């Protein structure tokens, strides 16, 4: 018996939100085992990497089951297709989806011979071909996240053209017009497998063809090949495509709308701002990836000082030990903003003419880095200089600095290059090939390379003679992009009818043109090229519009988010920009350190909380145990307070101007928010310290009471024996012959009362000794 499927429900759920309830319900009613089907598709969303061989074997078994029932093979094929689309709707991690796609394509080549119905077999052929086009769709999404128009055009075109070819073959197979397949609106014939496939293909063709047009428009504008009028015309054409009924019922309509919005916003900015002629000659980017380190002790400050000293002393052992290994290790020559004023300080205690700076750095220089975009034909970017900077303060970081364009590109960087540079510093940049001159493994991003570098550092404990060296890095959260703009230009007409000329831009003009790009961090997967165009300008920080403060030169721009910093200082020499950049790198690399402080405090808080819970559960605590924990809490609190105080002290930067910039950066980078969380943890620590102090006093009081009770008990027992001896002496002296019965009774009553008193006193003493 043929499989019975409610294709109308399947179509509705798939187009509306890529749901798979209807397809799984149909699978459950067919001869395909639902449990085995579920096992074959599990892990598509955020699951562990699947074994291709295991997935292939599972899918091959499913095809065999489906071949025994008419219609089940197309149902299985579409169900697998729907599972991939459902997973893609939920996650940008498509590795397991690609494994399933390849397994379906490979196994269908042999499984198709077992399907008796030629029409069904041909429909599955077309469906599997279309499923293969999703691999190019994944590449298109990578192009969007890279903000790479060329990769997007090529991949979107492959999907659109491939879908058009499948549609043409579907027409040839059915021999009917599209409207006869039950895919039209109200009053249409019941949905059939062929009709469902047609609607899916039509929606895909409209969407990916639209993405190709949008990407082509942006690429041509970046290259200066189209003007604003053409951008507006293409945006209008895509707006018309949104109204097509074949797309109106599909989730791709919302995705194409994002591309239309980007083109519309681009045209609006070209009309109202200086975006079109805005260029940044000499634009440079520095990626700062902070990491923290710990040794064998609980003293974070001492561990960091020992690590820096060990790298300085044994750094020569690290050179040439692997593809990521340093080429040289040396003290970093910092600008004099860290030592300003110290040349006049004399310390009598150390008999030194110079006071050392509070911030000292040793750097390990790695081989140069290159970034190769994955779109065919694009040149690589670089070289980038890579360093591991070890700081006595503890804000260690991997530093990657270099250009935003290929070396042979004579075109001055514009908004597109700026956007790509900023996205590379986020966790949402698409995959690129990141390699070092020394060869070795190819990494997918700057963050992945930094993680591999920090993992290497964690293995240096023997080479550096540092016990239990442990490092932690989280590039997706902490990577920061510092954009330095030596100069910027806009095109301005000198007089009516005359061609525009380039003049130096002001910070205000730059913000008008690319404000959302500089003020909104890249914190999400891109829905289109130049994602920033779709956002409103949030405006400058009301408290600190320019973190240079009173030292900001005219027309400058110094803005920062938690993920990026833009520094445009026209009129200032390079040496001034160098010092300010060091301040920025110091602050953004301190964010991970502040979190480490907080985690360090929480470790102590957790131990203290556990001890208090033991006491509340009735367990007796030892005095030494409580005192030692109190001492540990005190040490933790003192250490973190000392480190935090140094962050705000003049010991870092004695110049009032530089200290002012540091304070502003702590606010704009989000470090002040982390410090607020740290202050909360310090408050918890202080409260627990007080509670443990009360507990320690209670334990000591109970210990004293127990000792006093023991002494009292001994004395009371002795008193009882003495009383017995006294009664015996009295009886022998007064009644030498025989003690009267009344006297004996009185003596016994007295002795019993004494014993009762001892018991009552003992109970009271016991309760006192166990109180608290």
> What digits encode the pLDDT tens for the residues 132-147?
999 999 999 999 999 9
pLDDT the model gives residue 720: 63
pLDDT the model gives residue 183: 41
pLDDT-based confidence at residue 129 (cuts at 50, 70, 90)? very high
Q: For residues 517 and 530, what is the distance between their CA atoms, to the nearest angstrom?
A: 9
* Residue 498, Cβ density class (10 Å: 0-12 exposed, 13-18 middle, ≥19 buried): exposed
pLDDT at 729 over 60: yes
pLDDT-based confidence at residue 180 (cuts at 50, 70, 90)? very low
Q: 362: part of which helix (H) or strand (E)? A: strand 361-372
Of residues 704 and 584, more confidence is placed in: 584
pLDDT-based confidence at residue 184 (cuts at 50, 70, 90)? very low
Of residues 716 and 562, more confidence is placed in: 562
Lowest mean pLDDT across 347-361, 457-471, 687-701: 347-361
pLDDT at 769 over 90: no
pTM for the model stands at 0.84
pLDDT the model gives residue 767: 60
pLDDT-based confidence at residue 342 (cuts at 50, 70, 90)? low
Q: For residues 332 and 434, what is the distance between their CA atoms, to the nearest angstrom?
A: 25
Instruction: Give the three-state DSSP class for 769.
Output: helix
**Distance set, CA 561 to CA 479, 545, 688 (Å):** 12, 12, 35
> What digits encode the pLDDT tens for the residues 229-281?
999 999 999 999 999 999 988 999 999 999 999 999 999 999 999 898 899 99
* Mean predicted confidence (pLDDT) in 524-533: 88
pLDDT at 182 over 80: no
pLDDT-based confidence at residue 187 (cuts at 50, 70, 90)? very low
Cα–chain center distance at 173: 49
pLDDT-based confidence at residue 681 (cuts at 50, 70, 90)? confident
Lowest mean pLDDT across 195-199, 203-207, 627-631: 627-631
pLDDT at 399 over 50: yes
User: What radius of gyration do the chain's Cα atoms show?
Assistant: 38
Of residues 742 and 587, more confidence is placed in: 587
Of residues 355 and 35, more confidence is placed in: 35
Instruction: Give the three-state DSSP class for 366.
Output: strand
pLDDT the model gives residue 105: 97
Q: How many helices (H) and strands (E) does the chain have?
A: 23, 13
Write the DSSP string, 641-652: HHHHHHHTSTTT
pLDDT the model gives residue 403: 93
pLDDT the model gives residue 758: 64
What's the token pair of residue 605?
């808080």
Query: Residue 290 contacts by C-beta under 8 Å, 6 or more apart in sequence?
Result: 395, 396, 397, 473, 478, 480, 588, 589, 590, 591, 592, 593
Lowest mean pLDDT across 368-382, 469-483, 750-764: 750-764
pLDDT at 642 over 70: yes
pLDDT the model gives residue 130: 97
- What share of the chain in percent tops pLDDT 70? 86
Q: Where are the alpha helices (DSSP H) in 315-442?
A: 415-424
**Distance set, CA 204 to CA 19, 107, 118, 141, 471 (Å):** 17, 24, 26, 14, 46
Lowest mean pLDDT across 11-15, 123-127, 605-609: 605-609
> What digits encode the pLDDT tens for the residues 463-496?
999 888 999 999 988 999 999 999 999 988 777 7
Q: Answer positive or negative: Cα dihedral of 518, 520, 522, 525.
A: negative
pLDDT-based confidence at residue 383 (cuts at 50, 70, 90)? very high
pLDDT the model gives residue 761: 62
Q: For residues 512 and 653, what is the distance between their CA atoms, to the nearest angstrom?
A: 34
Q: For residues 300 and 624, what is the distance between their CA atoms, to the nearest angstrom?
A: 25
Backbone dihedral region for residue 413 (phi beyond 0: left; psi -120 to 50: alpha; all else: beta): beta
Instruction: Give the three-state DSSP class for 442.
Output: strand
pLDDT at 344 over 60: no
Q: Calculate the average pLDDT of the chain.
A: 86
Q: For residues 533 and 264, what is the distance between their CA atoms, to the nearest angstrom?
A: 9
pLDDT the model gives residue 753: 74
- What share of the chain in percent tops pLDDT 90? 54
pLDDT at 370 over 90: yes
Write the DSSP string, 396-426: EEEEEEEESS-TT--SPP-HHHHHHHHHHTS
pLDDT the model gives residue 301: 83
> What digits encode the pLDDT tens for the residues 425-442?
888 888 899 999 988 899
Cα torsion 305, 306, 310, 313 to 10°: value is 70
Residue 403, phi then psi, degrees to nearest 5: -80, 170
pLDDT the model gives residue 248: 85
Q: Select from 322, 405, 402, 393 the least CA-distant residue to 362.
A: 393
**Half-sphere exposure (Cβ direction) of 246: Cα atoms closer than 13 Å:** 18
> What digits encode the pLDDT tens for the residues 81-105?
999 999 999 988 899 999 999 999 9
Q: Select from 489, 443, 453 the least CA-distant residue to 473.
A: 453
Is the preceding peptide bond at 383 cis, omega within 30 degrees of 0? yes
Q: Give the best-scoring range by mean pLDDT among 345-349, 360-364, 570-574.
A: 360-364
What's the token pair of residue 772?
């608290």
Q: For residues 446 and 425, what is the distance between their CA atoms, to the nearest angstrom?
A: 7
CB–CB of 404/415 below 8 Å?
A: no
**Distance set, CA 389 to CA 289, 435, 560 (Å):** 10, 20, 22
């Amino acid at each position: 018996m043929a499989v019975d499927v409610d294709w109308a429900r399947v179509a509705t759920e798939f187009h509306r939100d890529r749901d798979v309830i209807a397809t799984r319900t149909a699978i459950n009613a067919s001869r395909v085992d639902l449990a085995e089907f579920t096992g074959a598709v599990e892990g598509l969303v955020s699951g562990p990497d699947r074994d291709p061989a295991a997935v292939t074997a599972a899918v091959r078994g499913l095809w065999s089951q489906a071949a025994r029932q008419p219609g089940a093979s197309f149902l299985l094929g579409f169900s697998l297709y729907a599972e991939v689309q459902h997973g893609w709707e939920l996650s940008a991690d498509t590795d397991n989806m690609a494994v399933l796609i390849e397994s379906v394509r490979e196994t269908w080549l042999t499984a198709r011979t077992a399907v008796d119905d030629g029409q069904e077999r041909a429909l599955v052929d077309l469906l599997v071909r279309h499923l293969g086009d999703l691999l190019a769709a994944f590449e298109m999404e990578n192009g969007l996240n890279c903000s790479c128009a060329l990769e997007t055009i090529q991949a979107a075109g492959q999907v659109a053209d491939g879908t058009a070819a499948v549609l043409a073959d579907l027409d040839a197979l059915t021999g009917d017009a599209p409207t006869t397949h039950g895919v039209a609106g109200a009053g249409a014939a019941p949905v059939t497998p062929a009709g469902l496939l047609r609607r899916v293909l039509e929606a895909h063709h409209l969407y990916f063809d639209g993405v190709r047009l949008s990407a082509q428009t942006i690429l041509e504008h970046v290259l200066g090949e189209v003007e604003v009028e053409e951008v507006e015309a293409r945006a209008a054409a895509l707006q018309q495509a949104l109204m097509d009924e074949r797309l109106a019922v599909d989730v791709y309509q919302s995705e194409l709308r994002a591309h239309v919005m980007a083109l519309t916003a681009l045209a609006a900015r070209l009309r109202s701002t200086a975006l079109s002629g805005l260029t940044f000659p000499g634009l440079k980017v520095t990626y700062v990836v902070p990491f923290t380190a710990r040794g064998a002790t609980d003293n974070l400050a001492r561990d960091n000082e020992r690590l820096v000293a060990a790298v300085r002393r044994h750094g020569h052992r690290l050179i040439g030990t692997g593809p990521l290994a340093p080429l040289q290790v040396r003290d970093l020559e910092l600008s004099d903003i860290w030592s300003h004023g110290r040349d006049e300080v004399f310390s009598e205690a150390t008999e030194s003419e110079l006071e050392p700076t509070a911030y000292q750095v040793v750097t390990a220089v790695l081989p140069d880095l290159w970034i190769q975009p994955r779109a065919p034909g694009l040149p690589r970017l670089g070289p980038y200089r890579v360093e591991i900077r070890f700081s006595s303060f503890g804000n260690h970081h991997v530093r990657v600095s270099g250009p935003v364009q290929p070396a042979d590109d004579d075109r001055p960087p514009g908004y597109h290059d700026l956007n790509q540079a900023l996205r590379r510093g986020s966790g949402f940049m698409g995959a690129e090939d990141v390699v070092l001159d020394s060869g070795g493994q190819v990494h997918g991003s700057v963050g992945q390379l930094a993680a591999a570098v920090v993992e290497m550092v964690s293995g240096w404990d023997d080479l550096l003679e540092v016990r239990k060296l442990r490092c932690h890095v989280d590039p997706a959260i902490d990577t920061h992009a510092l954009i330095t703009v030596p100069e910027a230009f806009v095109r301005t007409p000198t007089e009516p009818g005359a061609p525009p000329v380039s003049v130096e831009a002001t910070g205000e003009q730059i913000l008008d043109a690319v404000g959302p790009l500089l003020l909104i961090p890249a914190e999400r997967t891109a829905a289109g090229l130049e994602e920033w165009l779709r956002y409103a300008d949030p405006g400058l920080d009301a408290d600190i519009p320019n973190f240079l403060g009173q030292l900001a030169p005219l027309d400058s721009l110094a803005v920062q988010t938690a993920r990026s910093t833009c520094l445009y200082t026209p009129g200032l020499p390079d040496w001034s920009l160098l010092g300010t950049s060091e301040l920025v790198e110091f602050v953004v690399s301190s964010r991970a350190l502040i979190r480490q402080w907080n985690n360090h405090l929480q470790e102590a808080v957790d131990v203290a909380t556990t001890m208090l819970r033991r006491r509340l559960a009735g367990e007796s605590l030892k005095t030494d145990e409580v005192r030692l924990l109190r001492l540990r809490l005190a040490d933790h609190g003192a250490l973190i307070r000392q480190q935090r105080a140094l962050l705000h002290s003049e010991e870092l930067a004695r110049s009032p101007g530089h200290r002012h910039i540091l304070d502003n950066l702590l606010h704009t980078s989000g470090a002040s928010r982390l410090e607020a969380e740290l202050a909360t943890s310090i408050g918890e620590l202080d409260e627990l310290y007080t509670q443990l102090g009360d507990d320690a006093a209670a334990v000591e009081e109970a210990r004293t009471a127990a000792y006093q009770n023991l002494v009292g008990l001994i004395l009371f027992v002795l008193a009882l024996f003495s009383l017995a001896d006294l009664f015996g002496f009295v009886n022998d002296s007064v009644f030498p012959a025989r003690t009267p019965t009344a006297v004996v009774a009185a003596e016994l009553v007295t002795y019993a009362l004494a014993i009762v008193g001892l018991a009552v006193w003992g109970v009271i003493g016991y309760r006192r000794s166990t109180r608290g």
